[in-house]
Amino acid sequence: MTDEENRNANTVVDDGADASTPKKRGAGLSRREMLLAGATSAVALATEVGAQERKRAGAAVATKTVKGMPFRAFVRHGTQGEVVDLRLRDITPTQVVVRTRGSCGCYTVTTAVLGDAPVATPNIPNHSGMGIVEAVGAQVRRVRVGDRVLVSGTPWCGHCHQCLSGTPEWCNYLAPNGVPNDPIADMRDKTGVIEAAVIGGLSEIIVAYEEYCVPIFSDVPDEQIAMLGDTGAVGIAATDVYDPVQIGQNVVIFGAGPIGLAAVQGAKAKAAGQIIVVEPARTRREKALGFGATTVLDPNQDTATLVERIRGMCKARTDRLEAGGQVPGNNRFSMRGADLVIDCSGYDRFPPKVEPGPDPTGLLALRQAWEVTAPGGSLVTLAVQNGDIAFPGAIFCLSGRRIFGGQMAGMNVMRDTPRFITAMEKGQVDIGALVTSKRPLDQVKAAFQGVADRTELGVVITFPT
């Protein structure tokens, strides 16, 4: 079967014009009839067509009726957080049912998993995962039953205003904008459960909108693909998307957690000149050196002179202006600084069990990151800081520093994920080395405690295959 035939066979859209192949295209129902029939029929139809296609292709992936399917998930409800039994509801025509195989922990989710603040609606925390497609709604085209798929933390639709305007990281399907976040399952008492960010992840089943699904055509291990839904991909993208690193440029990275260390790898892969990492925890500084950092700095040492030290390292080769030089001044209008600065430090949601930084709000690191960015250089902000920050007005407006508020580091997940996987396959980046813990669903709290303590880097919740 050709790719074209495959695509047609899997697309259960039928305008009734092709009467010679009604069963292949969806048992004779027109698209309008199918939509009028509602989600249940649409899902069954898609499953049936998927089954026919698998039979033709010889695939051995079973499908199931999704409504009522039992599964387990970590659910926050009331003030509790625990693994509970759930029953799946019907999906809509644009949703995909994924049998989860991995979901990487994100520091921003530690509060949701470990906290005890009451939640209004029971929900499955986290915001990425990967697994195998088990069923698709009738309008889904991007992925097929049996596909290995990444459910990315950010969608890409390709047709909304932001996708067409070159800012796909703000695709309008990004929750809570373009898609409803309705319950996907019920607890035993029939209370509906939603997925955080319309993804969740800490669950045997993820129900994802098609726009969030990135099909994976690679043998890269599950836990590494899981890291591409969030931290691993974001770190690489910070060196590659908004203002890609050029050979020999200076890169400064604040924070050597999983995002920062992935950024170190990305900068090295792109042949940066200096890769300077600012990180308070000794073990993380050592990791950074192992991944290619050329200098590591402790922000607790000589905190007041940190900016000056980094600027001194990021200077032109000469002060002879006629020869490509730069004036040596280090005042507030300093010419010196890094070509690309990436802030992935983040505020302390919990007291770290490793050496804490000088400012638990993260605002000092953000200010320093901005100050060490050269005129014309770029600052990518990936960390979530706690509180408001003030900048001196004149220099903020005139310095020429470009600031990228780094939702998913600007990724177009359909365009960029395959490129990152190629780099992983070639060993140009080693996302697997960032995975320090793999734990089953029953150990979600312990896994996220390691993330909260900052004693772990990449933590992946894994599921039996």
Q: How far is the CB of 279 from Zn ion (least distance, A)?
A: 19
Query: Residue 303: how many CB atoms within 10 A of its CB?
Result: 14
Site for Zn ion in 171-190 (CB under 5 A): 171
**Which C-beta is closer to Zn ion: that of 126 or that of 399?**
126
Instruction: Rank residues 45 and 408 by Cβ distance to Zn ion and give the closer one.
Output: 408
CB of 229 to Zn ion, least distance (A): 8
Asked if 227 interacts with Zn ion (CB under 5 A), we say: no
Query: Please, what is the minimum distance in Å from the beta carbon of residue 163 to Zn ion?
Result: 3
**Residue 342 phi/psi, 5° resolution?**
-125, 120
Report the site for Zn ion in 115-174 (rule: CB under 5 A). 157, 160, 163, 171
Cβ atoms of residues 230 and 344 within 8 Å: no
How many binding residues for Zn ion (CB under 5 A)?
Answer: 6
| Residues 402 and 243: beta-carbon distance below 8 Å | yes
- Near Zn ion by CB under 5 A, which window of 22-30, 228-236, 280-288, 401-409? 228-236
Stretch that binds Zn ion, among 2-10, 98-106, 115-123, 384-392 (CB under 5 A): 98-106
C-alpha distances out from residue 371 to 216, 242, 335, 415, Å: 40, 19, 11, 32
Indicate whether 297 belongs to the interface with Zn ion (CB under 5 A).
no
Q: Which of 133, 408 has the CB closer to Zn ion?
A: 408
Of 29 and 408, the one with the shorter C-beta distance to Zn ion is: 408
CB atoms within 10 A of CB 392: 9
Residue 282 or residue 415: which is nearer to Zn ion going by CB? Answer: 415
- Is the four-CA dihedral 154, 160, 164, 170 of positive or negative sign? negative
- Report which of 43, 39, 52 is spatially closest to residue 10, judged by C-alpha positions: 52
- Of 24 and 438, which CB lies nearer to Zn ion in the complex structure? 438
Write down the least CB distance from residue 235 to Zn ion, Å: 12
Q: Which is nearer to Zn ion, 163 or 267 (CB)?
A: 163
Q: Measured from the CB atom, is 210 or 230 closer to Zn ion? A: 230
- Asked whether the beta carbons of 444 and 203 are under 8 A apart, the reply is no
Interaction between residue 288 and Zn ion (CB under 5 A): no
Binding to Zn ion by residue 106, rule CB under 5 A? yes
Q: Can you tell me which of 147, 210, 230, 243 binds Zn ion, judged by CB under 5 A? A: 230
Q: Are 281 and 346 in contact (CB under 8 A)?
A: no
How far apart are CB 278 and Zn ion at their closest, in Å?
A: 21
Task: Name the pairing type of β-strands 402-405 and 373-381.
Answer: parallel
CA gyration radius for the chain?
A: 24
Angular region, 238: left φ>0, alpha ψ -120 to 50, beta rest = alpha
Indicate the Cα dihedral angle 18, 21, 26, 31, nearest 10°: 0
State in angstroms the smallest separation of the CB of 258 from Zn ion.
10
- How many Cα atoms occupy the beta-carbon half-sphere of 126 within 13 Å? 38
Cis bond before residue 176 (omega within 30° of 0)? yes
- Of the candidate spans 100-108, 141-149, 275-283, 355-363, the one that interacts with Zn ion by CB under 5 A turns out to be 100-108
As measured in angstroms, the least distance from the Cβ of 436 to Zn ion is 17
Judged by CB, which is closer to Zn ion: 9, or 163? Answer: 163
- Under the rule (CB under 5 A), what is the footprint of Zn ion? 106, 157, 160, 163, 171, 230
